[in-house]
Structure formats: C-alpha cells, structure tokens
Amino acid sequence: MSFVSFSQAVAILRRESIVAFPTETVYGLGAIATSTTAILKIYEIKKRPSFNPLILHVSGLDQARKYGKFNKLALQLAANFWPGPMTLVLPKINYTLSPNATAGLDTIAIRVPAYKQAQNLISAVGTPLVAPSANPSGRLSATSANHVEHLFNSTVPVLDNSTRPIGLESTIIDCTRASPIILRHGAISAELIEKYIGIAPRFPKKDDEIKAPGMLLRHYAPKLPLYLNKKKPFEYQAFITFGDASFENLPIGTQIFSLSPTKNLKEAAATLFTILHKIDSLSEKFKSIAVVPIPNEGIGKAINDRLSRGAHKKI
Ligand code: TXA
Ligand code: MG
C-alpha cells in the first residue's frame, strides 16, 4: 500500500516528487508545475512521449489568468463550467513554469478541478499542479486508488478518496480562436456548450494543425483485443452491454458486464474504466472483449471515443 495523507501529499509535492490524487474526472499524477525535476519523473514513470504536454491544474479562474490569455469565449466557458470537467487550451502568457509542462508549445491547457480535496491540495502546495491521468501511457485511466496501485505496482504515493468520479477525462476545448474546437470529448458535451454559449463547437479536421498531441497516440487500451458494435458475444469473450445484464444461451466462456443495467449514459461513463480494469484482472479467462453499440449522444460520444481508441485495429 502506498496511500498517503493530505499533509504527506503536500510535503511530497513540495520536495519535487509526485503524488496521485483524485479529481472528479479520473485520478491525476501530480507534480508542481515549476519543477522540471518533478515533471521529468512523471514522463519517466508514465513512459509518456516528451512531445505530449500536460494539463495545468489551478485552484480557480484568478490563478488560471496568470498563465493563459482568456478571450471572451474562454471567459464564458470558465464562468459556466469551472470548477468542473473542462480543460481550456489558451495562448501561454507566462514563462515561469517548467517548459517541460507544455512540451515546448506556445499554448497551455488549464483546468480547475471540482473536488475540494484537489483544490485544497493546489492551494496548500502554493503552486499550480500539472497532472496527467494516473496510468502508464496507452493504458486504461484510473478511477480509484486501487487502480493506481495496480497500474504502478504500488510505487506511487496515492491520496485516497472514495467518491465515485465521472470516470472519463475532461473535455478539452481549444479557445485560441473566437469559436470553440473540441479536441477531446468528455462530460461537457458539444450540446451543453452550444446550450450555454450559443455557439456550436467544431471538431478538428484530419488535416487541421490544431490537435491535442496525446490524441494521436493509441490510448485507453485493455490487455485483450476489444471489438466494437457487437450484438452478441463469441466463445470466451467478455461481453460489455448497455442495459441487459443477462442473456439466454450464452456461448461457453462468455461473461456479461453491464455498463448500466438501466441504460443511463452517465452511469456507463462512471463504470467504463472500472469494468475494463476488472476484465484486465480476469484476462486469463477470456480471448477478447466485445462491446454493444453505445448511443452516440451527450457523454455517450466520450464513451465511444475512449472505446474506439482502445479498440483492436484490423491491419
Ligand atoms: O480529466 C483530465 O483532464 C485528467 C485529470 C487528471 O485532470 N487529466 C488528463 O491528462 O486527462 P492527460 O495528460 O492524460 O491528457 C491531457 C491531454 C493530452 O491529450 C495532451 O496532448 C493534451 O491534453 N494537451 C495538453 N496541453 C495541450 C495543448 N497546449 N494543446 C493541445 N492539447 C494539449
Ligand atoms: Mg491520459
């Protein structure tokens, strides 16, 4: 066990080392944003490519405005959705942070996490924290302290919290222009943004130069091959459903895992990584994973995004 108390977490961060801490989306692997030493530890332990920048976690809008240039759009988004599961990409206006935090880009990704514990951690440390998701690059994200323990073989200090998080990473929105571009789907959906801001966000085109570098990589991969949009399972398959938790005449070796027996997309988002971690721990029992079609609306888009990035690609 590598669980630590709040005051231990503060002390570890201050001496330029790393701590996993809970946020309302997924667990983050935190380091103080001014320390290149601490940030290099994150890249090393996650085996993260150095071109993939980190998100700056701040305690509120005032702190955020010291690091990113807010236009009207960014201010509107912050007023409606912060604190919460939304990251804004803004022009960088402050060069006191470690250059490794932003992987040399002239933009910076910033968010204000909603958990009071995370906000208190940032305030107690006295510096913003960079925090990628607390998982080795490419693997499943962690939605509980136990996931972090397993993923890093108990080598990373973890601050525990038993509240169930949203379960998917924050929505990333490029705010360097007058209208929003969604770089990563999350709980703050395009529909919600349009409702509150009055502008329909667009999405990066294939040849668009604006991208979240991390979204180019293979991601969220379970140990077994994952197949999407399947109506029924094959033998020795872990079968992930939305709704039905039982089926008649299942093939041999099949087991059902329901994302939400009541077909609730929010619940499905909250259980997705938990179920995939569970199947990872049972990977000897199955040959592959199949998932039923998930409605592609609201947070369902974020679920489908994570599933398709973790899916087995036919070459
Ligand atoms: O919910 C979250 O956002 C979680 C929790 C811990 O806060 N964090 C998280 O961090 O998902 P990470 O490192 O796993 O994903 C950050 C993503 C990467 O795809 C990265 O490329 C992108 O944000 N990113 C960071 N800075 C960027 C920038 N300046 N421009 C575009 N994308 C950026
Ligand atoms: Mg990640």
Q: What phi and psi, each to the nearest 5 degrees, are found at residue 176?
A: -85, -5
Which tokens is 9 given? 């977490």
If you average pLDDT over residues 245-260, what whole number do you get? 91
Say what the pLDDT of residue 205 is: 79
> H/E element holding 120?
helix 116-125
Contacts of 195 (CB under 8 A, 6+ apart): none
Q: How confident is the model at residue 315 (pLDDT cuts 50, 70, 90)?
A: very low
How far are the Cα atoms of 10, 19, 80 from residue 185, in angstroms, in the given order?
31, 26, 17
The CB density around residue 232, as the number of other CB atoms within 10 Å, is 13
C-alpha to C-alpha distance for 183 and 175, rounded to whole angstroms:
10
**Secondary structure letter of residue 116 according to DSSP:** H
264 lines ligand 1 (CB under 6 A): no
Q: What is the mean pLDDT of the chain?
A: 94
Which tokens is 287 given? 């040959």
CA atoms 147, 151, 153, 154: torsion sign:
negative
C-alpha to C-alpha distance for 92 and 102, rounded to whole angstroms:
9
Q: What is the DSSP string of 283-311?
A: TTT-SEEEE-----STHHHHHHHHHHHHS
Say what the pLDDT of residue 1 is: 61
CA of 88 from ligand 1 middle (Å) equals 10
Please state the atom number of ligand 1 nearest to the C-alpha of residue 52: 21
CA of 246 from ligand 2 middle (Å) equals 32
Could you read off the pLDDT of 152-191 as tens digits, one per residue?
A: 999 999 999 888 999 999 999 999 999 999 999 999 999 9
130 lines ligand 1 (CB under 6 A): no
Ligand minimally distant from the alpha carbon of residue 174: 1
Could you read off the pLDDT of 126-147 as tens digits, one per residue?
A: 999 999 999 999 999 999 999 9
Contacts of 290 (CB under 8 A, 6+ apart): 226, 227, 230, 233, 234, 237, 238, 239, 240
If you average pLDDT over residues 218-239, what whole number do you get? 93
pTM: 0.96
Q: Mutate which of 39, 119, 151, 169 to test ligand 1's pocket (most atoms within 8 Å of Cβ)?
A: 169
